[in-house]
């Protein structure tokens, strides 16, 4: 059994994050014009239908260095979430690594994600992200596995690599999120069909990491593979995801508890 060490809080990071959030409102006023200008150089894919989803990928336009303010991936940082999965206590450890992997011709950042259920690894995932030259974050695939209490893999369903067997990358986070615009985060028919859209920039949340009032980006996530499930995610500028919760069709909530450098 792996032991998990959760360190004391990092007030400096929290102060920085809150300062970044405080300026979000003024930045939002110019977001529309910046987004329009960038759209001419970084066209984003149309939602589809799925059979018509065909993003154009130019490898030289991407970098594994993800600095998007809403979803920064700092190599070596460890992000700890606490909560529950199916009403069972859970801890999720999210770690952007210094390692990269070429997928569909694009060098991506490898992020290791481990979900602990009652102290045991219930799910382990290697996620692959890259950022285009305009600051949009793309998702190029994942290698995922669910495990039983003995550590044996029970399924690898959901794994895919863009460019393999018709799978396509998706937009995970715009540089300047547009309210209401739908994106596919991934596309591997029957395996990975997550999609999302931004709802507002004025949501609030209280998590172990801190309390945030009217400063968060809230998104809605669904998948055609589980049509009755609806998740909301909340993002803090300068930090990333602070809260993820299922509001329809399930019982899963993860709250940001710690950020460890």
* Residue-level pLDDT at 8: 41
Single out the residue of 111, 96, 123, 66 nearest to residue 254, CA to CA: 123
pLDDT digit string (tens) for the chain, length 261 residues: 433 333 344 445 554 554 554 444 444 444 544 544 444 489 899 998 988 999 999 999 999 999 999 999 999 999 999 999 999 999 999 999 999 999 999 999 999 999 999 989 999 999 999 999 999 999 999 999 999 999 999 999 999 999 999 999 999 999 999 999 999 999 999 999 999 999 999 999 999 999 999 999 999 999 999 999 999 999 999 999 999 999 999 999 999 999 998
3-state SS of the chain: helix, strand, coil percent to 5?
15, 50, 35
Q: Are 165 and 151 in contact (CB under 8 A)?
A: no
| Cα→Cα distances 49→189, 195, 197, 224, Å | 12, 12, 16, 12
Within 13 Å, how many C-alpha atoms sit on residue 8's CB side? 2
Structure-block tokens of residue 3: 């032991």
* Domain ranges for the chain: 11-26+61-260
User: How far, rounded to the nearest angstrom, does the alpha carbon of residue 235 sit from its chain's CA centroid?
Assistant: 9
| HEC sequence for 235-247 | EECCCEEEEEEEE
User: With contact defined as beta carbons under 8 Å apart, do 238 and 17 qualify?
Assistant: yes
Other beta carbons within 10 Å of 132: 22
Rounded CA separation 259/94 (Å): 10
CA distance 202 to 177: 13
For β-strands 240-248 and 62-63, DSSP reports them as unpaired
Are the C-beta atoms of 184 and 197 separated by less than 8 Å?
no
- Domain spanning 11-26+61-260: CATH 1.10.357: no
**DSSP string of 99-118, one letter each residue:** EEEEETTEEEEEEEEEEEET
Contacts of 190 (CB under 8 A, 6+ apart): 225
* Confidence (pLDDT) at 37: 46
Structure confidence at residue 32 (pLDDT): 47
């Amino acid at each position: 059994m792996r032991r998990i060490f959760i360190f004391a809080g990092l007030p400096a990071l929290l102060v920085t994050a809150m300062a970044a959030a405080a300026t979000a409102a003024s930045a939002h006023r110019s977001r529309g014009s910046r987004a329009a200008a960038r759209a001419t150089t970084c066209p984003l894919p149309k939602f589809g239908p799925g059979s018509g989803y065909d993003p154009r990928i130019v490898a030289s336009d991407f970098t594994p260095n993800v600095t998007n303010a809403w979803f920064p991936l700092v190599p070596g940082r460890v992000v700890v979430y606490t909560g529950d999965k199916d009403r069972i206590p859970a801890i999720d450890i999210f770690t952007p690594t210094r390692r990269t992997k070429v997928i569909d011709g694009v060098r991506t950042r490898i992020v290791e994600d481990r979900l602990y259920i009652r102290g045991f690894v219930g799910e382990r995932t290697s996620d692959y992200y890259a950022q285009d030259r305009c600051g949009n974050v793309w998702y190029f695939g994942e290698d995922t596995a669910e495990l039983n209490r003995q550590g044996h893999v029970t399924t690898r369903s959901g794994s895919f690599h863009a460019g393999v067997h018709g799978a396509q990358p998706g937009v995970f986070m715009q540089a300047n999120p547009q309210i209401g615009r739908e994106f596919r985060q991934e596309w591997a028919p029957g395996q990975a069909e997550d999609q999302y859209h931004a709802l507002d920039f004025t949501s609030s949340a209280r998590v172990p990491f801190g309390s945030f009032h009217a400063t968060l980006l809230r998104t809605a996530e669904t998948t055609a593979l589980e049509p009755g499930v609806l998740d909301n995610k909340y993002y803090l500028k300068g930090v990333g995801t602070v809260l993820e919760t299922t509001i329809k069709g399930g019982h899963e909530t993860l709250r940001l508890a710690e950020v460890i450098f």
